[in-house]
């Protein structure tokens, strides 16, 4: 089974049963219809449609494999195929938004972030506005208005407050965006820009 398909089940998981047991002889088959050897630890994912999915390992790891219980009724792999077919997943990729001159005129930029749903341990990453607007139920998404122009201390305090509040909703935001990211200081008027021109000068 491809890792992408396993991820669909992982992202649909409402509850996991760890250390659910070990396989018995001829109790499970793998995705190629081969018997799973006895004595292999497994855990269970319960998805949002209340279906039970069995994977190798006492807890979920990158190397976990999907296995199917040999029992009466509708085979697990038939239900699995139905799940995959009904929940087409679009995978988002990291893409940073770089401010332009218009953003600096406005004084702020809007950044977009995503993380795979149902797992607080997944990495938060920046995405494009177009990806943010897509219907992707397997991702949590948030936006951040980041000040990028003004007085440095004011900008820093404003952004720290926004980032900390957002980090409560999506833990990990603070690891991928900094308060003074893209910041440019406010331009100060030249010291000699006060008053009119020089007094009339007589020729020598």
Q: Per-residue pLDDT averaged across 128-133, rounded?
A: 92
- Model pLDDT, residue 190: 52
pLDDT category at 153 given cuts 50, 70, 90 is very high
Q: Which of 7, 195, 185 is nearest to 104 (CA)?
A: 185
Between 135 and 4, the more confident residue is: 135
Phi/psi at 18 (5° precision): -85, 155
The answer to whether residue 200 scores a pLDDT higher than 50 is no
The answer to whether residue 79 scores a pLDDT higher than 80 is no
Cα four-point dihedral sign 48, 51, 52, 53:
negative
Q: What is the pLDDT of residues 33-69, one digit of tens each?
A: 788 899 999 999 888 777 888 999 998 888 888 888 8
Q: What is the pLDDT of residues 90-115, one digit of tens each?
A: 678 889 999 999 999 999 999 999 98
Q: Which of 45, 54, 119, 47 is nearest to 83 (CA)?
A: 47
**Across the chain, what does the average pLDDT equal?**
80
Q: Per-residue pLDDT averaged across 149-164, rounded?
A: 95
Cα four-point dihedral sign 180, 182, 186, 191:
positive
pLDDT category at 1 given cuts 50, 70, 90 is very low
Share of the chain above pLDDT 90, in %: 40
pLDDT category at 199 given cuts 50, 70, 90 is very low
């Amino acid at each position: 089974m491809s890792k992408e398909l396993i991820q669909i089940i992982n992202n649909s998981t409402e509850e996991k049963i760890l250390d659910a047991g070990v396989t018995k002889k001829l109790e499970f088959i793998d995705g190629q219809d081969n018997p799973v050897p006895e004595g292999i630890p497994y855990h269970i994912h319960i998805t949002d449609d209340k279906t039970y999915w069995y994977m190798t390992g006492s807890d979920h790891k990158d190397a976990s494999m999907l296995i199917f219980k040999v029992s009466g009724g509708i085979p697990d792999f038939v239900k699995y195929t139905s799940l995959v077919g009904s929940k087409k997943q679009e995978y988002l990729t990291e893409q940073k938004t770089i401010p332009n001159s218009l953003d600096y005129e406005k004084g702020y930029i809007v950044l977009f972030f995503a993380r795979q749903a149902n797992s607080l341990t997944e990495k938060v990453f920046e995405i494009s506005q177009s990806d943010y607007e897509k219907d992707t139920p397997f991702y949590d998404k948030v936006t951040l208005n980041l000040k990028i122009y003004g007085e440095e201390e004011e900008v820093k305090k404003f952004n720290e407050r926004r980032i900390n509040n957002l980090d409560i909703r999506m833990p990990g935001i603070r690891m991928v965006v900094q308060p003074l990211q893209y910041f440019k200081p406010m331009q100060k008027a030249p010291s000699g820009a006060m008053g009119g021109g020089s007094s009339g000068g007589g020729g020598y």
